[in-house]
Amino acid sequence: MNRIIVLSVATVAILTFSGCDKGDKAAETTKQATTEVAAATKDAATKTVAAAKETATKATEAVKESAKKAVDATKEAANDVAQKAKETATKATEAVKETADKAKAAVAGTNDKGAQLFNKCKSCHGPDGKTKALGKSAVIAGQSADDLVKKLTEYKAGTRNVAGMGTLMKGQVGNMSDEDIKALANYISNLK
């Protein structure tokens, strides 16, 4: 655009020079035209700078906005992850607790079963398992559960006979399941 203005001024100047012999006036006209062109150019430059400034400001704002959105999105995602991790941890804790409760209940059940089965042993071994049965057996209270399981299993199989009374003991435990023997051994080992 500026080029067009310059060309116009030059044309005006040339026309003025060629069409008139009053040189001074022509020079004056040229000077004025040049001043106007300079002013127009300055104006255009100012406008361009302002436009560039505005564009830059808008771009900055846009970048700021997207950065903010990105930060927000990241924050949200992080919160989601944290929330999920929390949920997983809670579930895991609950599962562990449930398993522990079940284990506890199982142990309690075994002890109950052992106590019930021990009722028929009390007449000879004593209510606390500390009596030497018929004056012949060892004290059974407090023996290790493993030892008791082994001994009772041997009586059941008819292969144990310490004081000549193995057959009597086979009659006591002969029809007990492995589970019964375990529960019983557990209970007796805990008698104090």
Residues that bind ligand HEC (CB under 6 A): 120-121, 123-125, 133-134, 136-138, 140, 148, 151-152, 160-166, 168-169, 172-173, 184
Give 19 or 164: the residue with its C-beta nearer to ligand HEC.
164
34 versus 172: smaller Cβ distance to ligand HEC:
172
145 and 189 Cβ atoms separated by less than 8 Å: yes
Nearest approach, Cβ of 170 to ligand HEC (angstroms)?
A: 9
141 and 148 in contact (C-beta within 8 Å)?
A: no
Name the residue with the smallest CB distance to ligand HEC.
121
Pick between residue 9 and residue 173 the one whose CB is nearest to ligand HEC.
Answer: 173
Work out how close the CB of 118 gets to ligand HEC at its nearest, in angstroms, rounded to a whole number: 6
Q: Whose Cβ is closer to ligand HEC: residue 110's or residue 137's?
A: 137
* Residue 78 CA: distances (Å) to CA of 38, 84, 148: 59, 10, 57
What lies within 8 Å, CB to CB, of 145 at 6+ separation is 182, 185, 186, 188, 189
Q: Are 183 and 110 in contact (CB under 8 A)?
A: yes
Given a contact cutoff of 8 angstroms between Cβ atoms, the answer to whether 119 and 166 are in contact is no
Q: State the nearest-atom distance from the C-beta of 106 to ligand HEC, in Å.
A: 21
CB 107 to ligand HEC: min, Å: 19
C-alpha 61/C-alpha 187 separation (Å) is 78
